[in-house]
Amino acid sequence: MTLKEVQIGQTAKVVKLTGTGPVKRRIMDMGITKGQLVHVRKVAPLGDPIEVTVRNYELSLRKADCEMIQVELVGREA
């Protein structure tokens, strides 16, 4: 499952980053690394951008970047 598929209000744990080179580096620079919890706060009407909370920071991610972040749901949503 990718971060793009996570519903609003759900929290997921990052399992793997599938991007390469500068794309992967940009995602990691935002604090999104393996084992990190990501909470989806809001999704724009057309699905881009996706607003998330990571390490108490609010971020906006592109849909294409979210497709490169493999996650598993945590907590009662799983």
Instruction: In whole angstroms, give the CA distance from residue 60 to residue 40.
Output: 10
Q: How far apart are CA 4 and CA 24, in angstroms?
A: 16
Q: What pLDDT sits at residue 75? A: 74
DSSP H or E stretch at residue 75: none
For the four alpha carbons of 45, 47, 52 and 57, in that order, the dihedral sign comes to negative
Q: Which residue has the tokens 């972040």?
A: 69
Domains and CATH numbers, the chain: 3-77 (2.30.30.90)
Q: Would you call 16 helix, strand, or coil by DSSP?
A: strand
pTM of the model: 0.82
Tens place of pLDDT per residue across the chain (78 aa): 999 999 999 999 999 998 788 888 888 888 899 999 999 999 888 778 899 999 999 999 999 889 999 999 987 644
